[in-house]
Amino acid sequence: MIIEKAHLHIGADNVTAFEAAWREAAPIFARTPSCHGAALYRGIEQPSEYTLLVQWASVAAHEAFRKTDDFAEWRQLVGHHFTQSPSVSHMVAVETP
């Protein structure tokens, strides 16, 4: 399993509307078989900055999702709140003894 980490910048006057859109859009991840969970975190020092963490079966699964109608729907719901393109990276857990 991998983690997608997306850094989202939202207009300060759109935070409430963005969070409402997120609540509407979040079930899209839940209905995607290769997605094992998603969580959105708001910055404390910068309340208009968010980190989205999504657990995917693989990077390929995330890339496949980005080509679906579900992804288009997700972007339609939340994307107009972004003040710049999200910064996205993929991470893998480091094994511990």
Q: pTM here?
A: 0.93
Strand (E) or helix (H) holding 87? strand 87-91
Which pLDDT does position 42 carry in this prediction? 98
Count other Cβ atoms within 10 Å, centred on residue 47. 11
pLDDT tens for the chain, 97 residues long, are: 999 999 999 999 999 999 999 999 999 999 999 999 999 999 999 999 999 999 999 999 999 999 999 999 999 999 999 999 999 999 999 998 8
Q: How far is CA 76 from the centre of its chain?
A: 13
Residue ranges per structural domain of the chain: 2-91
How is domain 2-91 classified at the CATH fold level?
Answer: Alpha-Beta Plaits (3.30.70)
